[in-house]
Amino acid sequence: SAVRREIGVLEAEIGRMDAIIANFLKATRPERLQFKEVDIVETVRSALESLRGIASDRRIRIEFRPETERRFLFADPQKVQQVIVNIVKNALEAVGNDGEIAVDCREEDGSIVIRVADTGPGIPQEQIPRIFEPFFTTKESGLGLGLVIAHRLVKEHAGDISVKSSAGEGTTFQVRLPLREYKLKFLESKK
């Protein structure tokens, strides 16, 4: 009957809302980070490897050009990988098909700087301040939580994340993670 159909639709919708709320809570509830010495170049490389399949399906080239061979920092390797995966996934969606994502990794002023630049349509200036807000998304589907999670994880590593973009010009995300100071602070707090 029509009523039963309506109830079915409502139940499905409630299920979907539950999933959204559960995802959101998981995204906003900090987990304990597992800090250790991490080879940042290897960590970025393995995050990119996990997305090569999706990229090649969409004929998107991912170029990784680290300017440093191996560089260790004190971090949670899984969380740093998640940051890179979330940013690159975002870039893959922005580019659509047939494009390029260039990732580099360098040392600058006592920090490791990772840049992810895509050849997508860019982000209109007025939207840039909002892209790290929960549920702000320009996509048809998805919750807009990927960048929120990336932002939170970078902050938990005492780093920062920024974005430069203009419509029609592509977008560059930059993640900055401190090399030494954070380790010293962390070890001090353990005493």
Quickly list DSSP for 109-123.
Answer: TTEEEEEEEE-S---
Q: Could you read off the pLDDT of 146-171 as tens digits, one per residue?
A: 888 899 899 999 999 999 998 888 99
Pairing of strands 36-39, 111-118: unpaired
Identify which of 148, 147, 62 has the alpha carbon closest to the alpha carbon of residue 104: 62
State what percent of residues in the chain have pLDDT above 70: 82
A 10 A CB-CB count for 158 gives 17
pLDDT in tens, 103-150: 999 999 889 999 999 998 888 888 888 888 776 666 654 556 788 889
Amino acid at the residue 101 = I
Give the whole-angstrom CA distance, residue 49 versus residue 25: 28
DSSP H stretches of helix in the chain:
2-28, 40-49, 52-57, 77-95, 146-156, 181-190
Mean pLDDT, range 159-185, rounded to an integer: 83
